[in-house]
Structure 1
Amino acid sequence: MKNIAIIMGGYSSEYKISLISGNLVHQYLDKTKYNGYCIHIFKEKWVYVDDSETEFPIDKNDFSVTVDGTKINFDCVFNAIHGTPGEDGLMQAYLELLEIPQTSCDYYQAALTFNKRDTLSVLKPYGIKSAVSYYLNKGDKIYTDEIVKKVGLPCFVKPNKAGSSFGISKVKTEAELPIAIEVAYQEDNEIIIESFLDGTEVSVGVINYKGVITVLPITEIVSENDFFDYEAKYLGKSQEITPARISDEMTEKVGAIAKRAYELLKMKGFSRSEFIIVNDEPFMLEMNTVPGMTNESLLPQQALAAGISLEDLFANAIELALVK
């Protein structure tokens, strides 16, 4: 039996969703092969939480835990942390130094894809299109007329490094820009302002499944709100249609782009890329490397549509990490 640490929580606004993801992974872990341990990672404490909610501190020197006098080391870490430090490369680098296999991509890929601006810049020379954008760093002077001239209205103001749609605003008038910028700065000190793409939004899961890079059935997102925000993602204010209502040609095209991005960035483990299709052209928004694993989340829905059970999906991730 392999000891698997399922890390969850994290230091960002996404910690609640991460705890749900981590607990779902624990629930569907094959108990005949793996001993699953729920590890909560917070700024103030790293602890193993057992079934009775008792907490045991993690020894950060070797990422082990001592329970009733017995020291437990982990064969593999299943990463279910959305946001920092699980999705931005910090945990990946720490675990690599300790030589503990983990299920997500390597630290450089995590750091790169966590930065929307840099991801799109790296992929652009390969013909992967993205929205017209304008960048701000905290402290920069804000010229609203300049922003509107470049990206047009309506536009989206987003934290550059945050997930689950925290800090994102859809801006319809120039006067709303400073307020939206302040909201985004609450999540991050870098901001990306993007032109509004009026088209079909799709989400494409790409995973390494049994050693083969596999594009999962594509999900179309129809939000009741102005965009696919937190409410739409987690509180049922959207329709998520898998497979997406797009032509076979477009399914092929957007799937090929998502797969190419996965390969170009030398990804491992799970990825979920978001696109908006405008006039038969897919524009990439971002790539998530630790996508949600809740029952509402897109990647588990896509895996089930592909005939891959959650037990199988999670075991596959662990087995591939152990092979490395």
Structure 2
Amino acid sequence: MSRVAVIGGGQNCEHEVSLASAASVADALASCGHEVVRLTISPDGAWCDADRRPIGLAAAVEVLRGCDVVVPVVHGPRGEDGTLAALCDLAGVRYVGSGLRAGALAMDKWTTKLVAGAVGIATAPGVLLTPASAPTYAWSHPVVVKPVAAGSSHGVSLVRTPEELPTALAAALALDDRVLVEDLVVGREVDVAVLGRADGSRTCSPALEIVVDGLFDLETKYDGSADFRLPAALDEVERKALEEAALATYDALGCAGVARVDFFLTAAGPVLNEVNTMPGFTAASQVPRMFAAAGLPYAELLDLLVRDALAAP
């Protein structure tokens, strides 16, 4: 078996979620017989060992170099956005998941929209705002306001009236200096996970539908009120359209390993919402549940990802 470094935490608003994912991933890999080395990035950016003692970046890089492969389980900016992939590339260490380019592109929701549009994948009409341009935006219909680069629905607001707009913009701008304002899309929320293998093949998981009363926001995401339907009730045309759109998006961004591609399924077909190259990864998270439904249990999925990272060219 391999010596595997698992990195959790991170210097962003998803720190606690990343800690939970990393702990679960590490335990599962250990159960498969791998020698697991646990590292944590604190909220202030300090690298820490398994006992949460600060060791510094230089020492952490040496730890990574002493491992066969790295599993970066850091959601959001300074992790999922390609930062840790770049660090591993510079250190000459193999790692699970997407590289710098795909991580950076997918983390940037505006850029993701541009890439999707270039390959014919529909997205919600939207505009990009900055602190300078936000005050000039005139509300005319219901919109969703979100930071360009943040995860777990942090800073996301549904704006149904003009009076709600200033608060929504302020919440998003508190997390990012660029904000995406998109038209509200009416449709079913359906996610598809894509697994890219070392041999170049890609497999789609069964689709998962998220049923909520209103917006699937930060509170709804973690309070247990959302109804996850797996597999989603889809006819063959809907299933094929979603899978083709998920694969096209995955390939266009250059993803590797596992990525979750989130859609709104409308009467006109799938509309891309966003792409997560390092989604939540506890055993109860969406992606592990989706592959488990296809007959690939959690620990086996992680073991496969590690083996594929080691087998990659």
Q: Please, what TM-score do these two structures have when normalized by structure 2?
A: 0.94
Choose 209-218 or 118-127, whichever is displaced more: 209-218
Paired residue type of 2:279: P
Specify the alignment match of 2:132 in structure 1. Answer: 139
Q: CA deviation at 1:250?
A: 0.2
Alignment of 1:87 with 2:80, yes or no, is: yes
Q: CA deviation at 1:319?
A: 1.0
Q: Which of 104, 110, 134 is the aligned partner of 1:111?
A: 104
Where 1:40 maps in the other structure, the secondary structure is: strand
Q: CA deviation at 1:232?
A: 1.9
Where 2:216 maps in the other structure, the secondary structure is: coil
Query: Is contact 1:206–1:258 with CA below 8 Å preserved after alignment?
Result: yes
Specify the alignment match of 2:53 in structure 1. Answer: 55
Where 1:251 maps in the other structure, the secondary structure is: helix
CA offsets, 1:72-112, max 9 Å, x none? Answer: 81111101100122111111111101110110111011111
What is the rounded CA distance, in whole Å, between the counterparts of 1:59 and 1:142 in structure 2? 40
Query: Is contact 2:96–2:305 with CA below 8 Å preserved after alignment?
Result: yes
What is the rounded CA distance, in whole Å, between the counterparts of 2:203 and 2:74 in structure 1? 23
Q: CA deviation at 1:312?
A: 1.0
Specify the alignment match of 1:74 in structure 2. Answer: 67
Specify the alignment match of 1:13 in structure 2. Answer: 13
Q: Which of 167, 188, 194 is the aligned partner of 1:206?
A: 194
Q: CA deviation at 1:56?
A: 6.0
Choose 214-223 or 30-39, whichever is displaced more: 30-39
Aligned length: 310
Q: Which of 231, 235, 239 is the aligned partner of 1:247?
A: 235
Query: Is contact 2:96–2:257 with CA below 8 Å preserved after alignment?
Result: yes
Paired residue type of 1:227: L
Query: Is contact 1:164–1:233 with CA below 8 Å preserved after alignment?
Result: yes
Choose 54-63 or 154-163, whichever is displaced more: 54-63
Percent identity among equivalent residues? 29
Query: Is contact 1:210–1:316 with CA below 8 Å preserved after alignment?
Result: no
Unaligned runs of 5+ in 1: 66-70
C-alpha change, 1:54 and 1:121, in structure 2 (3 Å) is: closer
What is the rounded CA distance, in whole Å, between the counterparts of 1:96 and 1:46 in structure 2? 18
Choose 195-204 or 290-299, whichever is displaced more: 290-299
What is the rounded CA distance, in whole Å, between the counterparts of 1:180 and 1:62 in structure 2? 38
| Structure with a larger share of its residues in strand | 1
CA offsets, 1:124-176, max 9 Å, x none? Answer: 0211000010110122252242x42xxxx221000000000000000011121
CA offsets, 1:188-213, max 9 Å, x none? Answer: 11100000111111011001246320
What is the rounded CA distance, in whole Å, between the counterparts of 1:320 and 1:97 in structure 2? 20
What is the rounded CA distance, in whole Å, between the counterparts of 2:56 and 2:35 in structure 1? 17
Where 1:5 maps in the other structure, the secondary structure is: strand
What is the rounded CA distance, in whole Å, between the counterparts of 2:112 and 2:217 in structure 1? 21
Where 1:64 maps in the other structure, the secondary structure is: helix
Specify the alignment match of 2:289 in structure 1. Answer: 301
Specify the alignment match of 1:96 in structure 2. Answer: 89
Paired residue type of 1:305: A
Alignment of 1:35 with 2:35, yes or no, is: yes
Alignment of 1:181 with 2:169, yes or no, is: yes
Unaligned runs of 5+ in 2: none
C-alpha change, 1:72 and 1:17, in structure 2 (3 Å) is: same
C-alpha change, 1:45 and 1:202, in structure 2 (3 Å) is: same
What is the rounded CA distance, in whole Å, between the counterparts of 1:210 and 1:241 in structure 2? 30
Instruction: Tell me how large the CA RMSD over aligned residues is.
Output: 1.8
C-alpha change, 1:72 and 1:155, in structure 2 (3 Å) is: closer
Q: CA deviation at 1:55?
A: 2.9
Paired residue type of 1:139: A
What is the rounded CA distance, in whole Å, between the counterparts of 2:56 and 2:250 in structure 1? 33
Where 2:203 maps in the other structure, the secondary structure is: strand
